[in-house]
A and B are shown apart, each in its own frame.
Chain A
Amino acid sequence: MDVIEKLAVLGDAARFDVACTSSGSERSASSGAGVGSTVAGGICHTWTDDGRCISLLKVLLTNHCDYDCAYCRNRSSNDVPRAAFRPEELAMLTIEFYRRNYIEGLFLSSGVVRDADHTMGLMIETLRLLREVHLFRGYVHVKVIPGASPEAVERIGRLADRVSVNVELPSTRSLLSLAPQKKPADIEAPMAYIADRRSANREELVRYRGAPTFAPAGQSTQLIVGATPDRDVQILRLSKNLYSRFDMKRVFFSAYIPTNAHPLLPALTSAPPLLREHRLYQADWLMRFYRFDVEEIVDSGSPDLDLDLDPKSAWAMRHLDRFPVDVNRADYETLLRVPGIGVLSAQRVVAARRLGRLRTEDLRPLGIVMKRARFFLTAAGRYAAERIPQAAELRVLLADKCGQKGYAPFQLRIEDLPVVAEGA
């Protein structure tokens, strides 16, 4: 099979993994031999016809797979075209694409051939060629195969910028019924190893700047949404755990696109839950950048996110007694909770107040979305909207006009916002 055919098969097979970011790592180019650099904020190189950005060459090393996970296109019992790159072939392809500025680097995943460590060995060889023979200094993101040994994870972490182990199914019950060859411990063990090594590596780098790095861009993971009956509250509690236990940079959500008929999976004709995926990302943002706790967003009483309202507006609707707030007096944390005010506009409010009292007409230039924020703000003694609406009316006014269709998927690039997340 030609390389171009392999590329079509193995790109196609990898496209359902949603992570595309090339961020979190800053490495200048070497002045000596070698090609490439990384940029902390990441760089998007193009956007596919579904509106998702391409930053990395995202491919599987092979889509031959011994596992038979019910939700996966590449499972062993599916009749799909199969291909495998030779490590040298893929290293070469990456370099040539990189030199033409098509990509920021490589995102490498793989089907499971023989066992986890054998597969990891092939991936390690690819990265070794890329780094040590081709002297590639660009970005590399690798998927660790569940069940990989600490030795394999160690080697891959030294070669890659970001490593990730996919959780895929949000509960043990779903995992056991749909991916019988994967065990929860096989997923958790490498995650824990990566988290430990990362924190040790941070110390090493403080002591000695030239210490070899271990996954400097951290680890991330992915959850499939809508394949199983798991509720949003379970998904978000799980994400919170993943962030705190394993020091995750990102938890990605992937709306399930039915590919296989299975009694436990949605019908083949059902549409991917794109709006739900979007709401989960909004909730994730609230937790990471807006200082919300999961239980403020969803709880056992109302276990799913409201599809009509963004989660911050939904929270505000449940706490109307806290509004309106005075934009000239409210502290940063309070501002962050106002629908229509984002991290950047909250920072701008704080900065702009130094010049003098803000009036309602000053708010739009600060980037505040007045369509929503006006119902929750006063400025210089004036309510920002014409009148106070009834709660039912307010709900309609705050609702997104976008339906499930034609809805823009959440872009993943803002990852390293001027971070206020950790207590600024």
Chain B
Amino acid sequence: MNVFLRYDDTFEGFLTAAAACLRSDGAASVLRPGAQIPLLPVQVVETEEGFADRLGSYLSTRLGPEVPGTVYQAWLSLVPGIEDAIVAFLRLGLAKRRDPSGFLQEPSVGAVVKASRKVTAEAHFFLGVVRFRLRGSVYLSEIEPAVDVLPLIGDHFAQRFHDQSFAIHDLRRGRAIVHPAEGRWEIVDVAPEEAGNDRDGETVGDGTDDCASTVWNPPARPDPYEAMWKRYFQAMAIEERFNPTCQRSFLPKKYWRHLVEEPGSSDRRVPG
């Protein structure tokens, strides 16, 4: 008989549930929090502290060093049904004693690999399209990624800009990477009313609230480098090669609003 295992919304909790499924010979299914409650019995899984690390190193030695990462990235995608696909993926790997990622003809493997690629591609994309706006001495960025990329991009920005204080705010999920200069980065929840204030309650912007599209208030004086970047962006397009379809396939329109450069603006450019 089928059993549904419900986990809290952490990756650790998911792994605890997934391991329980693997032990149960295929009769159990993982239920994400907030999912519709089925008519069949539901069991709540107690998240085991430190379990993720133990399972991670087990999978890494047993199946290959890439496996824990693939599983984590696929889980981040939150694609419906990905939990069960991950369980089937791991079951196949354990049966064959190797990284199952190559067996793409198997639907579960296809689903896991595709979900993981979706997440890593989105994270890589945001390494490029995060735009920092300088507010006082703090660099602030707002993004609206399709999936939760913050855990995957923090290290990159923290290393590259280690001497900068910056924050990357995921507006869709109400969370932000916060990095003090020469400090460690962390992900914090940003409540909507905190917008414009940093975590210690000090005002980051100038306190006015005249810009509805951005939660960080605009500065008193516009940043000259933003105008320069916009001008440069427009100057780089070659009229003879204009190709908005191609542009949008790499840079979908839904991401334009947080960019500084205003894509699509170069056909209006003023000569000279």
Contacts and interface: CB of A to CB of B under 8 A. Distances in A.
The judgment on whether A and B are partners is: yes
Interface of A: 3-4, 7-8, 11-12, 15-16, 28-29, 31, 33-37, 39, 41, 43-55, 57-58, 81, 93, 96-97, 99-102, 138, 257, 271-272, 274, 348, 351-352, 354-355, 358-359, 362, 365-367, 406-409, 411
B68 to A, nearest CB: 19
A31 B132 CA distance: 21
Contact of B240 (A96, A271, A365): A271
B164 A15 contact: no
Contacts of A96: 225
B11 interface: no
Contact of B141 (A8, A36, A37, A101): A101
A351 B264 contact: no
Contacts of B249: 51, 408
Contact of A43 (B127, B141, B226): B127
A99 B103 contact: no
A354 B225 contact: no
B112 to A, nearest CB: 12
A35 B163 contact: yes
B38 to A, nearest CB: 29
A355 B236 contact: no
B225 A47 contact: no
A75 B156 CA distance: 42
A408 B105 contact: no
Interface in B205-255: 224-229, 231-247, 249-251
B243 A409 contact: yes
B225 A49 contact: no
A214 to B, nearest CB: 24
Contacts of B152: none
Contact of B247 (A35, A51, A101): A51
Given A43-B128, A355-B103, A8 B232 contact: yes
B145 to A, nearest CB: 15
Interface residues of B, number: 63
Given A43-B124, A102-B229, A54 B246 contact: no
Nearest to A13: B235
Contacts of A354: 102-103
B103 A46 contact: no
A355 B96 contact: yes
Contacts of B110: 365
Contact of B237 (A48, A351, A407): A48
**Secondary structure dominating the interface of B:** helix
A257 B139 contact: no
Q: Which 8 A-B pairs have the closest CB atoms?
A: A51-B246, A351-B102, A362-B105, A50-B241, A29-B159, A51-B243, A408-B246, A11-B235
A34 B162 CA distance: 9
Contacts of B231: 4, 7-8
A194 to B, nearest CB: 27
A28 B243 contact: no
Nearest to A405: B243
Given A8-B231, A35-B161, A97-B229, 8 more contacts: A46-B263, A49-B243, A50-B247, A51-B243, A57-B232, A101-B130, A367-B104, A408-B246
Q: Which of A11, A100, A407 has the most CB of B within 10 A?
A: A100
Contact of B132 (A58, A100, A408): A100
A7 B227 CA distance: 11
Interface of B: 96, 101-107, 110, 124, 127-134, 139, 141, 156-157, 159-164, 224-229, 231-247, 249-251, 259-261, 263-267, 272
A99 B272 CA distance: 27
A48 B236 contact: yes
A406 B240 contact: no
17 contacts: A7-B228, A7-B235, A15-B238, A37-B156, A46-B233, A48-B266, A54-B236, A55-B128, A99-B132, A99-B139, A102-B131, A257-B241, A272-B240, A351-B103, A365-B104, A408-B245, A408-B249
A405 to B, nearest CB: 9
Q: Which of A16, A45, A55, A57 has the most CB of B within 10 A?
A: A45
Given A52-B241, A274-B241, A352 B233 contact: no
B229 A47 contact: no
A99 B164 contact: yes
Nearest to A259: B240
Given A54-B236, A101-B131, A409 B246 contact: yes
A272 B243 CA distance: 13
Contacts of A367: 104
